[in-house]
Amino acid sequence: MEKRVESNIIGLDEAGRGPVIGPIVLAGVEIRKEDEAIFKELGIKDSKRLSAKKREELALKIRAIAIKISVIKISAKNLDELMSKKSLNLIELESFVSIINDLSADTVYLDLPERSNRFQSVIKKESNRKIKLIAEHKADDKYPVVSAASIIAKVERDNEIKMIEKNLGFEIGSGYPSDVHTVNFLKKYLETHDTFPDCVRHAWATTKKLLGAKKQKSLFNY
């Protein structure tokens, strides 16, 4: 049986929950409890409060310090398929359980996507061992180990977005519906191809709205 080290802790977070393009990436970072002080000294904080360059620099340092890192990427196409059967919260919950089970520490810090005791109880029930779970909204602002997970997840997602842009030959922006570059890409691609590529989440309101407008325009022209 794998030995548990009580002084070790795990931080969990995700990147890409809201975008209409690209994967959702979930990450778990396991460290020695005492290494949290090093994370603080390095200036590790919520990934949203750091530049892309700083995130990349810190990600390398996190990987050098961490005992183990576990990452799950769910592509836009797979996310569409999963969301035809279950909620985004449940998909995220199941992924976090898989990451916890892949790591070893018994104390887990989680950035909670919803203020719900149900989310926490399911994670505890489905984990392959008894864990102490500290699940809080905005935990990525509070606990360095969760901030580290948010940085790893964000850097991984950013790399995925770069690969998508390279494969498509288009600038797609951040992938968020609020990003002008993202929306312009979606409109231009739809106009040319009458559909969206697999990297686009068809289950999202943004794509449904654009497809609906395209269909209505086609009927009107007909």
- 201, 170, 185: which is closest to 20 by C-alpha? 201
Are residues 172 and 181 in contact, defined by beta-carbon separation less than 8 angstroms? yes
pLDDT at 138: 87
Say what the pTM is. 0.92
The CATH number of 168-221 is 1.10.10.460
Q: How far is CA 96 from CA 56, 63, 80, 114, 142, in A?
A: 23, 19, 19, 14, 19
pLDDT over 50 at 166, yes or no: yes
Contacts of 150 (CB under 8 A, 6+ apart): 13, 14, 15, 27, 46, 47, 48, 111, 140
Tokens found for residue 139: 């935990």
DSSP lists the bridge partners of residue 71 as 27
- Given the structure tokens 């289950």, which residue do they identify? 203
- The domain ranges of the chain are 8-165, 168-221
Asked if the model's pLDDT at residue 190 lies above 80, the reply is yes
CATH of domain 8-165: 3.30.420.10
pLDDT digit string (tens) for 116-154? 677 888 899 999 999 999 999 889 899 999 999 999 999
The pair of three-digit structure tokens given for residue 199, joined into one six-digit string: 């990297």
